C-alpha cells in the first residue's frame, strides 16, 4: 500500500491506517453508493455474513436473500426520499444475536450519497452486568 493520506474533518490518516482501522472494528461495515451498488465491505476476522471481492460493484439487492430484498428496497427508498435516516433490526443466527443497522449517508447539503450497513454480534454484550472499570482485566 502506498503512503498516500487522506485529510478528514478531524485529522489525517494514511490509507494504510484507514484500512487497518476498518479491519479491526468490532463490527462488519458495508458501504452502498447512491446507485445501490456495493462499493466497500470490511474484511474483519470474524465477519458475520460472508462476502467476497466479487460482490464489489454489484447491486446490494443481489447481496441479500430473496425473501428480504423488499425490505432492503424499502429502506433505500425511504433514505433517498429523506423520510428516514436509519433502520435497525436484530436476528438470531446459529445461536448468536446479531444487531444490524443501516444509516443514510448524506453530504453537507443533505443530499443522499449512500447507505452504511453495520452488523455486530452482540451475544456477549447482552450478557454484561454491573460494571468493569478500565484495566480491571481478567486473565
Query: Which distant-in-sequence residues (6+ apart) come within 8 Å of 39 by Cβ?
Result: 31, 32, 33, 56, 57, 114
The CA distances from residue 91 to 27, 28, 38, 82, 97, in Å, are 15, 15, 22, 26, 6
What class does CATH assign to 22-127? alpha beta
pLDDT confidence band for 139 (50 / 70 / 90): low
pLDDT given for residue 2 in this prediction: 61
Strands (DSSP E) contained in the chain are 5-8, 11-14, 28-33, 38-41, 86-93, 96-106, 112-121
Whether pLDDT at 1 is above 60: no
Q: What is the pLDDT of residue 44?
A: 87
With 80 as the cut, is the pLDDT of residue 105 above it? Answer: yes
- pLDDT at position 13, please? 96
Residue 135 has pLDDT above 80, yes or no: no
**Contact call for residues 75 and 115 (beta carbons, < 8 A):** yes
Reported as type and span, the H/E element at residue 24 is: helix 15-24
For residues 99 and 46, the model is more confident at 99
Q: Domain-by-domain residue ranges, the chain?
A: 22-127
pTM over 0.75: yes
Amino acid at each position: 500500500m502506498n503512503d498516500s493520506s487522506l485529510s478528514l474533518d478531524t485529522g489525517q490518516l494514511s490509507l494504510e491506517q484507514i484500512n487497518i482501522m476498518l479491519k479491526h472494528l468490532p463490527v462488519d461495515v458495508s458501504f452502498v453508493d447512491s446507485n445501490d451498488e456495493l462499493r466497500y465491505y470490511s474484511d474483519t476476522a470474524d465477519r458475520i455474513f460472508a462476502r467476497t471481492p466479487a460482490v464489489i460493484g454489484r447491486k446490494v439487492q443481489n447481496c441479500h436473500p430473496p425473501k428480504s430484498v423488499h425490505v432492503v428496497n424499502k429502506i433505500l427508498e425511504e433514505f433517498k426520499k429523506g423520510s428516514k435516516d436509519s433502520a435497525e433490526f436484530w436476528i438470531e443466527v446459529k445461536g448468536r444475536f446479531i444487531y444490524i443497522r443501516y444509516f443514510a449517508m448524506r453530504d453537507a447539503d443533505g443530499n443522499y450519497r449512500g447507505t452504511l450497513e453495520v452488523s455486530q454480534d452482540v451475544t456477549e454484550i447482552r450478557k454484561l452486568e454491573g460494571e468493569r472499570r478500565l484495566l480491571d482485566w481478567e486473565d
